[in-house]
Homo-oligomer: A and B are copies of this chain.
Amino acid sequence: ATGEPVANANDDPLPSWNKCAARTDILDFVACATDADCPNFIPPAERIAVFDNDGTLWCEQPVYVQMQFVFDRVRQQAAQHPEWKTAEPFAAVLRHDIKALAAAGEKGMLQLLAATHTGMTTADFEQIVTQWLATARHPKFDRPYTELVYQPMLEVLAFLRSKGFKAYIVSGGGIEFMRPFTERVYGIPPEQVIGSSGKLKYELRDAEPVLMRLAELDFVDDKTGKPVGIQKLIGRRPVFAFGNSDGDYEMLRWTTAGKGSRIGLIVHHTDAEREYAYDRDSHVGRLARALDEAPDRGWSVVDMRRDWKTIFPPVAK
């Protein structure tokens, strides 16, 4: 995955898309936004596009990639923590007990995040994530997670970039879990990544300044947090929003309620064969309200099975 479309962009900027309403909506929106004679022209500085990450740009099943990272890190660190064998929620991870993990709830998740994401410098964490992403493989597809990005979405990102749009990721995932790979995989630089975060602390180590990752939550970039995160980091309202779950509902509302031309889009996971099929009842990426309100709000829904010719980029030779 390089963030560039497979086919020649001059022929068709979205070659992995079948002809469908969402594709037409994207092409029409961009054509008008970049045409100075169109009443819906958007000045380049205001061409801000926001994309959810999990389930919108890359695969989020059977569990969020960052969750798998947490599990793997707990197992890797277990030798240095013999007490984890009997202490929940760590013991549940070690014995692969999904039920006990679910029972540990949000409090358990925060304990796991603290143990695996904090107490090190930002530079050390970046290295840990980078190394894990280089070796971890998806259980169903047996490919690195960074190859399980959606080829049709890479084409949308490249198309928008070629038309002067600035694309941001706005994800409930950890901001510093994403930044190590978004530039290489999506063509999105770290400064265009918005996510959940813990508090940081500047301090000196051997007279060198470092930023320590503290075990204190700073910001949750999900649901009503998404418009807040957009305001905090971008400071202006997007014109283009793409999500896949009810966690994106407020981001879609916030984006499409703005004055002038706006577009909201939703990836609907309908392809049990090539990827996964899920919506209302999924433990991950639950999609109900946003799907129900999409027609009235004018949001385009992508039917993954029907609208996408391919799901993932070809395996690198």
Contact = CB atoms under 8 A, between A and B. Distances in A.
A207 to B, nearest CB: 9
Interface string A291-315: 0000000000000000000000000
A190 interface: yes
Contacts of A227: 202, 209, 211
Contacts of A72: none
Contacts of A202: 224-225, 227-228, 250, 254
Contacts of A250: 202, 209
A31 B209 CA distance: 27
A303 B262 CA distance: 49
A121 B250 CA distance: 16
Contacts of A183: 45
Contact of A254 (B197, B209, B232): B209
Contacts of A231: 122, 200, 211
Given A189-B236, A202-B228, A211-B227, 15 more contacts: A179-B235, A190-B235, A191-B236, A193-B235, A200-B228, A200-B231, A201-B224, A202-B227, A202-B254, A209-B250, A209-B253, A209-B257, A218-B232, A232-B233, A233-B233
11 contacts: A48-B191, A122-B231, A190-B235, A190-B236, A191-B234, A191-B236, A200-B228, A200-B232, A202-B224, A202-B225, A209-B257
Interface of A: 45, 48, 122, 166, 175-176, 179, 183, 189-191, 193, 197, 200-203, 208-209, 211, 218, 224-225, 227-228, 231-236, 250, 253-254, 257
